[in-house]
Amino acid sequence: MRFMIIVKASKDTEEGLLPSQELIAEMAAYHEKMAKAGILLDASGLQASAKGWRIKYSDKERTIIDGPFTEAKELVAGYTIFQVAAKEEALKWSKGYPNPAMDGKEAEIEIRQLFELEDFGPGEGVSRFRELESGKVR
């Protein structure tokens, strides 16, 4: 089972403030523990939304909306993806995640399970994704 820890953005992250060296070290130690346990798949921080954009769909039309975006609490500042055998194990690992806020301020993370190809049943699209995973693209 794969899970994603989603670190919610804050006013600080949206202003482009970088975390302290202490917080970076704490995050590094946590992710090193995950890597040594063989469960870490990916982790990274995201730049402020001012450096991004959204694409709004309406049927076949696409509209580009440049950042920044106003509601920081609904934005993502970073993520960690990991794989474990059970939800209880994911809960245990996520409870050990360091407070991502700068200077110990209030923060929030969200944990979500990722879909696996098996969740969708057989089909042409699923087969094509399996080929992508195996590196055998037609």
| pLDDT the model gives residue 33 | 98
pTM: 0.89
For the segment 52-69, the average pLDDT, to the nearest whole number, is 95
Q: Are 104 and 117 in contact (CB under 8 A)?
A: no
Percent pLDDT > 70 in the chain is 99
Q: Sorting pLDDT into bands at 50, 70 and 90, what band is 70?
A: confident
Residue 51 has pLDDT above 80, yes or no: yes
Distances (CA, A) of 132 to 46, 50, 113, 117, 135: 26, 32, 21, 12, 5
pLDDT at 138 over 70: no
Choose between 130 and 110: higher pLDDT: 110
**104-123 confidence digits (pLDDT tens):** 788 999 999 999 999 999 99
User: What pLDDT was estimated at residue 8?
Assistant: 93
